[in-house]
Amino acid sequence: MKMFMPLALMSFIMFNYSNFLIISTFLSLFMFLKFYSLQMLIINKLMFMDFISLILIMLSMFSVMMIILSSNSLKHLFMLITSILLILILTFSSLNMFSFYMMFEIVLIPTLFLITKMGYQPERLQAGIYLMIYTIIASLPLLLGIINFKNTPNFILLNSNCTQIKFSIIFILAFLVKLPMFLFHLWLPKAHVEAPVEGSMILAAVLLKLGGYGLIRFCPLLYSKLIPYNFWILSISLIGAIMTSMNCIRQKDLKSLIAYSSVAHMGLVLASILTMTFSGIYGAILMMIAHGLSSSALFLMVNMIYSKHHTRNIISFKGMWNSFPNITFWWFIFIAANISAPPSINLAGEIIILISLINWNHLILIPFIFISIMTSIFSISLFLNTTHNQPNSNIEGGSTFFNKLYLCLFIHLIPLIILIMKMDMFLF
């Protein structure tokens, strides 16, 4: 891989975005082919890679490539986006827990700049403050807990008897906020609403997965410590998924609706991880990948429609079927994927999560059914409200979008469909 680094560096120096896109694609394919059957690779004392790291790194690179392909203001965002990508790669490949914490928190800096400097509304400062307060306060217990790991500084040596953390619920607070868990989610809708489309795409596709990745990595430690709290955290996450799905029905802002939908999906991911079973973690990884692809495409389409409507209000989005028939097709495809319709990988992830939750407790089936029903209701309602009825007179009817945007949507769709045909690749 070292032989390709000068080419990648040259693309950064020359700011040739097309070269960067081509080289990033090549490196992603190279990593996948080289480490496809990887169990674990220890690179040095600070870095390692296994299949979970690899799949999330590839998701990060894929998301950045889609941002580069679809963005119209890349000259102002290129350094921010690439710095976020670099930090994410270092986070997902960190072996040392302190270096993991450093990268876990440093990613907040370019994200904050992306929201506060590149956002469009004055309220972006409030969104940045929410993000800072929630993240920094919740991360302090994690830092104190990691300091206690001086005898076991890396994830490989981690086991449930290596430390005596009595308040493990406080220890994982940083991951619950970053995921985010219901009750700690208020920063997410504000961040999505005020961020530019590039920020929303990378926030939904990758940054939310940092919390799930952290929980998966610390599972050996938390296995015995979290048993007394598992039922309560899992119950709150499922009830929160129901409530946020109900809240989606009354949302008028499209970005806010998709953000609350993300909270509901991450509630399922959290519940699946807390079952502390192989199938639970397997389903959580599938759901994180599926959500990263579908929600990123939804935010891209919201921005495409916003560029013509100049508003994100659902009430103003009537008659999209007549105004933009091409985008209506993609709108239907990704809304269907968002409710786990076949043949998307979302369906496989949700089925495996359901199996793991039922094995943990049969009564979980009841809230799970409610979540599925409410998600279907707000998704179908969203599609009908935006595509049917007569279009408003101030809409630029018949307007077309750049071909690269349709290409970007098509590239989002490919892994959503293809991965369900190759489920064995996720058996890490």
The pTM of the full predicted model, rounded to 2 decimals, is 0.90
Residue-wise pLDDT for 25-44, tens only, equals 666 656 665 655 566 677 77
Question: Residues 192, 255: contact at Cβ < 8 Å?
Answer: yes
pLDDT at 3: 40
Distance separating alpha carbons of residues 143 and 126, to the nearest angstrom: 26
Residue-wise pLDDT for 122-174, tens only, equals 888 899 999 999 998 898 888 887 887 766 667 766 665 555 555 567 778 88
H-assigned helices in 339-364: 345-360
Q: Is the pLDDT of residue 8 over 70?
A: no
Residue-wise pLDDT for 272-315, tens only, equals 999 988 899 999 999 999 999 999 999 999 998 888 877 888 88
- Cβ neighbors of 43 (< 8 A, separation 6 or more) are 49, 93, 95
Residue-wise pLDDT for 161-180, tens only, equals 555 555 567 778 889 999 99
For residue 21, what pLDDT band results from cuts at 50, 70 and 90? low
DSSP bridge partners of 287: none
pLDDT at 409: 92
CA distances from 196 to 80, 121, 302, 403, 419 (A): 12, 10, 11, 21, 29
DSSP bridge partners of 96: 154
